[in-house]
Structure 1
């Protein structure tokens, strides 16, 4: 199974809403489809703050990854956070997510990206293992904190 990445475009919105809904249901994230559309559409329209990639063949995507861009003095320039990564349950365990996590940073580095970050539930051992295999390392002295506005 291939984890080829395709940059999301406006015509992928309905397909992505379906995938995002599946992820949100699995993760316990409560949101309306309209709110999901509002969160995805600008990324698909090409705003410079982030991008959505479909994983697998665009006509029958098996997952997606959302990446949001920022700037870091510490890392010396453009950085990004993987906001969401999802692979359909039926194809998990076949290396698809690992392949995507290795391909995405390599491709983005060519565009000047200096670092990629992500957030993971420490108790999710399989996710921690996946991200570690893909080269991500914990920053134990730091913790992500959020404030909803």
Structure 2
């Protein structure tokens, strides 16, 4: 099984919509299809604030990873946030997410990213182990806080 990454394009929207809907259902994220489409299309069309990579074969992706970009004075420049990462349930446990989370940050660092962040459910021990194994560390003094606008 290959974790080869391919930058998603507008023609991948329908395929991606199914994957994202599956992830959202699994994670309990409430979002109607129109909201989901409106959030994905700019990323597929090349908005500079983020991108989506499909994982595995183009015709039948194994999953996806969505990155968004920002700027951090603390980290000394452009940083990124893993907004979502999803691997189809039937193929989990084969090292695909591990490969993505080890290789993609190296490529991003080569492109000038200074840090990569992510958020994980406090009760999802499997995901926490994956993220720790791939070099992500909790920031004990900080917690992510959000305000919906």
TM band (smaller chain) = over 0.9
Larger deviation, residues 128-137 vs 100-109: 100-109
Aligned to 1:144: 144
Partner of residue 42, structure 1:
42
Q: What's the CA shift for 1:123?
A: 1.5
Q: Helix, strand or coil: the match of 1:58?
A: coil
Give the secondary structure class of the aligned counterpart of 1:59.
coil
Structure 1 residue 32, shift from structure 2 partner: 1.0
- Deviation for aligned residue 1:136: 0.3
Counterpart of 1:112 in structure 2 is: 112
- Structure 2, unaligned stretches of length 5 or more? none
Q: Deviations over 1:23-43 (max 9, x none)?
A: 000011111111111000000
Tell me whether 1:55 sits opposite 2:55 in the alignment: yes
Moved over 3 A (4+): none
Superposed counterparts of 1:1-149, under 5 Å? 1-149=1-149
* CA shift for structure 1 position 122: 1.8
Partner Cα separation in structure 1 for residue 18 and residue 83 of structure 2: 17
Distance 1:34 1:124 in 2: 28
DSSP-derived class of the 2:59 partner: helix
The whole-number CA distance in structure 2 between the counterparts of 1:109 and 1:59 is 29
CA distance, structure 1, for counterparts of residue 118 and residue 82 of structure 2: 5
CA distance in 1, matches of 2:39, 2:101: 22
Deviations 1:31-61 (A, max 9, x none): 1111111000000000100000001111110
Deviations along 1:95-140, whole A, 9 cap, x unmatched? 0000011111111111100000000012111000000011000001
Measure, in 2, the Cα distance between the counterparts of 1:32 and 1:124.
24
Between the two proteins, the alignment pairs up a number of residues equal to 149
TM-score by length of 2: 0.98
